[in-house]
Structure 1
């Protein structure tokens, strides 16, 4: 959930930078979006595990701050990598959701004396959130399944536990089958909860 929240915050900043065509930054973001869309998460994880300690070491050394790259928690790198990777997709979800709101409603709100922020908060945001919610929840499911890669970097999740249990009992088939069922049940439950939340949101707006 924290990864999704962080990705949404990053995605919002990416959307604003591209939408308002911020000099230099918008061009950098376009290249970054292309790179992240075309690079598998497992490659990004290996890259970040190699690059982030080096980058932080260079920065801290230039500032004269003592820093031990070996003390970076693997889970921190996994969270950061997935958040950055997912942020470009969240920016597109945000863009599509905002564009889905009828421009006439915004104009009507302005004609009633609403300020830009009042219009955004009371008209644009509620409708954009409803439009974006299914895609945001799909992103959460993608995160849950994608985090199975984390065990490659000593971060123990559901698949990591299954591998450890399989190694301990020498019953890998049962261990991985149990992990698959847990992932499946978890995704089914989240989907049902998301559907109920979406229904309540639409009911409340209407």
Structure 2
């Protein structure tokens, strides 16, 4: 019945409608089993990297090891932000085997996306922490809290609220960028679209369908982002 309804649309035939309906479930399955889990795992790992890098860059540098670590962190951020994610994926998947390191497609994508998110999100986290007035640090010190205790209990919660909008945008962008994983053989949403398109030769039709599915996913994530921001605004207002 759905095929008949689609066939009534302009520029749509019964054969094209059948292709659309047949391609829908594989693409949704690829999104649920690979695209979204890949984005979630990579984002969580990237946030851990981002927090560590941001801490290295904002804490006072006295010891030699800290100064060296600071330079490594800056170099990492500069290298990741200065090269395309596709190149990073190819280096890990196709380049590392030359050094005897061979990874499966899914772990390869997680590593590449995590490193990429970590570099970009570290700047977001660093800016959010630096936006907190210095008086908050002094207030924590005045009640006997150590530097790390002040950071954990006073600065980090406030910085997290500031960082929510840009980090949410980073996650939504990451969901779309998981389509690059198809180039290292991860059978995510766009890879499924490529498989169907190569079999039916209806490239425009199938790719537009894939684009619509991505759009729906990102639209839902945007709604969740708005609710999350509103919840934190109410919490702060109290």
Alignment TM-score > 0.5, same fold: yes
Kept in 1: contact 2:55–2:126 (CA 8 A): no
Distance in 2 of aligned mates of 1:14 and 1:122? 19
Residue 27, structure 1, aligned to residue 71, structure 2: yes
The answer to whether residue 177 in structure 2 is matched with residue 183 in structure 1 is no
Could you say if the C-alpha distance between residues 14 and 156 of structure 1 is closer, same or farther in structure 2, counting changes exceeding 3 Å?
same
CA RMSD of aligned residues (A): 1.8
Matched with 1:45 is 89
**1:120-159 pair list within 5 angstroms:** 120-159=151-190
What is the alpha-carbon distance in structure 2 between the residues aligned to residue 112 and residue 25 of structure 1?
Answer: 31
Deviation at 1:29, TM superposition (A): 2.3
> Equivalents in 1 of 2:46, 2:114: separation in Å?
5
| Separation in structure 2 between the aligned mates of residue 23 and residue 123 of structure 1, nearest angstrom | 26
1:128-182, Cα deviation, whole Å (9 max, x unpaired): 1110011111111121111111111111111111111112222222210111001
Q: Is it true that 1:5 corresponds to 2:44 in the alignment?
A: yes
Unaligned runs of 5+ in 2: 1-39
- Aligned to 2:67, the other structure's residue is in SS state coil
2:53 alignment partner in structure 1: 14
- The separation in 1 between residues aligned to 2:157 and 2:67, in whole angstroms, is 30
1:185 Cα shift? Answer: 1.0
Task: Measure the CA separation in 1 of the matches of 2:108 and 2:54.
Answer: 24
Aligned 1:166-205 pairs, distance under 5 A: 166-205=197-236
How many angstroms does 1:107 deviate by? Answer: 1.9
Structure 2-normalised TM-score?
A: 0.75
SS of the counterpart of 1:24?
helix
Q: Residue 22 of structure 2 aligns with which residue?
A: none
Specify the SS of the correspondent of 2:109.
helix
Spell out structure 1 runs of 4+ moving beyond 4 A: none
Q: CA deviation at 1:54?
A: 3.7
Scaled by the length of structure 1, the TM-score of the pair is 0.86
Structure 1 unaligned spans of 5+ = 59-68
Q: Which residue in the other structure is 1:88 paired with?
A: 119
Q: Is the 8 A contact 1:11 1:91 kept in 2?
A: yes
Task: Provide the C-alpha distance between the structure 1 equivalents of 2:69 and 2:139, rounded to a whole number of angstroms.
Answer: 33
Larger Cα-atom Rg: 2
Structure number with higher relative contact order (C-alpha < 8 Å, ≥ 6 residues apart) = 2
Q: Does residue 102 of the first structure (1) align with residue 168 of the second (2)?
A: no
Supply the distance in 2 between the matched residues of 1:203 and 1:126 (Cα, whole angstroms).
Answer: 14
Contact 2:49 2:115 in 1 (8 A): yes
